Amino acid sequence: MKFFYYLFSRLPIRVLYIFSDIFYVFISRFYRKKVVDENIRNSFPNLSEVEYNKIKNRFYYNFCDIFFETIKSFSIRKSDILKSVSFKNIDIINNHTSNNERVVFLTSHQCNWEWLLLSLELNLDKRMHAVYKKLSNKKLNDIIFKSRSRFGTIMVESKEIIFKLRSDIKEISTLGIAADQSPNSNNRVEWVRMLNQDTAFFDSINYIPRLTNSVVYFISMERKSRGKYVAEFINISSLPHKKNKSIINEYVNHLENKIIQNPGDWLWSHKRWKLTK
């Protein structure tokens, strides 16, 4: 499986986009159609049918591109990823780490989070750590793990992150977290109102920056054209963190604004609201 995945990833990106266009015709008809429909309609209850279809179709179109861009990640050259994802203010982060200040990045499933991870490692002055959730399919998990870590990023499974932070904190300069993951009933959560719905977030998003004494940034990502993205770092919480300040709240404010600005770029097929208050 890994060998054929690698061969397919070696195809030029323009060829993979042809597959994406074909894929879109089929995937938009059935893939998690009910989940996508409920998520969009509950988030934007006043949409007209024309507006709803515009968001839905744009999501599926972008989703297919991300799918094939992710395959390309397995063999993409450093020069190509640097051309595909640029940063407006990466110097801010490198200034923090040069002063021995830790940074936590809170990202989301907006635009292409896989290419964001790869480009971060290439633009940062110090090695990056990133939290990931292990996939149930072992072969696919091995492929995605290798793809995400191929430029040097150290991937840490979500179940092990607190132990890693407590035991090896001196090794960590920057830590990336996709903070819009959906918790389950066994996790400690904080409830926030997002997109007209009560939404649960991992309470660890508040806890980790305080545990590591880290500055916190939200990474805002925009799609400029097909396969071209621009990211910007927005400060959420500086040191020392205020005890009564919710980092999650600040994150949600920025995330929600980003989704409203470009709703077709968010991952609507994710079962984000499966946990109810």
pLDDT digits (tens, 9 = 90+) for 71-96: 999 999 999 999 999 999 999 999 99
| Average pLDDT along the chain | 95
Q: For the residues 190-198, what does the mean pLDDT come to?
A: 96
Q: For the chain, give the percent of residues with pLDDT over 70.
A: 100
Of the two residues 259 and 4, the one the predictor is more confident about is 259
Residue 243 has pLDDT above 90, yes or no: no
Of the two residues 105 and 4, the one the predictor is more confident about is 105
Q: Residue 199's beta-bridge partner residues?
A: 192
Q: Which of 250, 169, 178 is nearest to 214 (CA)?
A: 169
Residue 240: asked if its preceding bond is cis (omega within 30°), the reply is yes
Q: For the residues 157-186, what does the mean pLDDT come to?
A: 92
Q: For the residues 170-179, what does the mean pLDDT come to?
A: 95
pLDDT digits (tens, 9 = 90+) for 115-130: 999 999 999 999 999 9
Q: In what order do the strands lie in the sheet with 174-178?
A: 85-87, 228-237, 214-225, 102-107, 174-178, 128-132, 154-157
For residue 187, give every residue at least 6 positions away whose Cβ sits within 8 Å of its Cβ, in sequence order, or none: 202, 203
Report DSSP state, residue 266: B
C-beta of residue 201 within 8 angstroms of C-beta of residue 183:
yes
